[in-house]
Structure 1
Amino acid sequence: MNFSFTFLFCLEIDMPRTTLRPKCLDFQPRPTYPYSPGACGGGMIFTAGQVAWDETGEVTGIGDVAAQTRQTLKNVASVLHEGGATVDDVIKCNVFLADIRDFDAMNAEFARVFPTDPPARTTVEARLAEATMLVEIEAVAWVAPES
């Protein structure tokens, strides 16, 4: 099984890096190689690519990119929450579609989560980890330091 990765960098050397593995995502496979659903440091939170796994670990919305986008964004939000952020803190997203013709359906769901002032976003067509997966999303969020 293949997985995509987001490499995680901390912006401040004196800020410790913390890996994020929300309990609600414990169903996600634990690969034998180094991987975390997310990491944070220096006010930045990075998610690894999230897909439409539901709480049972199954891909939800088979054949339905809108349903998969909703579940994927829910999983992104769970990783962000573990790091102390919400989708309102997202400044950049990368979206990977198995078929770029699904852009409009994905975009409609994306707009529901980010209705105003959406984050910067790149959307590309890519081969995903499993044939049933139609969308994968990774996000970067910034949380202002507490004063």
Structure 2
Amino acid sequence: MTQQERKTIATPEAPGAIGPYSQAVQFGNLLITSGQLGMNTAGEFPPTAAEQARQSLSNVKAILEAAGYGMQHVIKTTVFLHDMNDFQAVNEVYATFFTEPYPARSAVQVAKLPKNGLVEIEVIAIK
């Protein structure tokens, strides 16, 4: 892979990176996002996991759109939850962002997320 083949994606419509990473990287027709916390561009978190999931997926959508993709291009998601007891509430929000055929998905509980977030979601998209 050459640097000419690799493209960094960044948009002010989603929170900026909080470390040495990109919001997303595109290689050919493949787009991979970094994990998106459920915070807005001002760095504020809504109080519930469901609301954070909505914000996280809105951030993902903004990044996809900045690269010329849409949610229909997502083929794989990974959902990181601080508490697996929030799975059903997050799943209900998740279902409002995707239609059939649904992307493949993993959902895992983690000990801690950056900035004490409750939800973080990353995606792989292709077109």
**Matched letter for residue 24 of structure 1:** E
Cα pair distance change 1:104/1:30, threshold 3 Å = closer
**The one of 125, 129, 138 aligned to 2:114:** 129
TM-score w.r.t. structure 1 length? 0.79
SS of residue in 2 equivalent to 1:85: coil
SS of residue in 2 equivalent to 1:75: helix
Q: CA deviation at 1:106?
A: 0.5
2:36 corresponding residue in structure 1: 50
How far apart are the structure 2 equivalents of 1:112 and 1:88? 12
1:28 to 2:16 alignment:
yes
How far apart are the structure 2 equivalents of 1:80 and 1:103? 24
Q: Which runs of at least 4 in structure 1 moved beyond 3 Å after TM superposition?
A: none
**Matched letter for residue 58 of structure 1:** E
How far apart are the structure 2 equivalents of 1:78 and 1:129? 20
Question: Is this contact kept in 2: 1:28–1:57, CA < 8 A?
Answer: no
SS of residue in 2 equivalent to 1:95: strand
SS of residue in 1 equivalent to 2:75: strand
Cα pair distance change 1:30/1:102, threshold 3 Å = closer
Task: Report the RMSD for the aligned CA atoms in angstroms.
Answer: 1.8
Identity level (%): 35
1:3 corresponding residue in structure 2: none
**Matched letter for residue 98 of structure 1:** H
- Ranges in structure 1 where 5+ consecutive residues have no aligned partner: 1-9
Structure with greater Cα Rg: 1
1:5 corresponding residue in structure 2: none
Query: How many residues end up aligned between the 2 structures?
Result: 126
Q: Could you report, residue by residue, the CA deviation over 1:119-147 in whole angstroms, capped at 9, with x for unpaired residues?
A: 0000000121122x11000000001xxxx
- The residue correspondences of 1:42-81 to structure 2 (distance < 5 A) are 42-59=28-45, 61-62=46-47, 64-81=48-65
1:39 to 2:28 alignment:
no
Higher percent of residues as strand = 2
Q: CA deviation at 1:65?
A: 1.1
Q: CA deviation at 1:93?
A: 0.2
**Matched letter for residue 21 of structure 1:** A
Q: Could you report, residue by residue, the CA deviation over 1:12-41 in whole angstroms, capped at 9, with x for unpaired residues?
A: x6971101111223x53543xx31010101
Question: Is this contact kept in 1: 2:79–2:119, CA < 8 A?
Answer: yes
Cα pair distance change 1:29/1:19, threshold 3 Å = closer
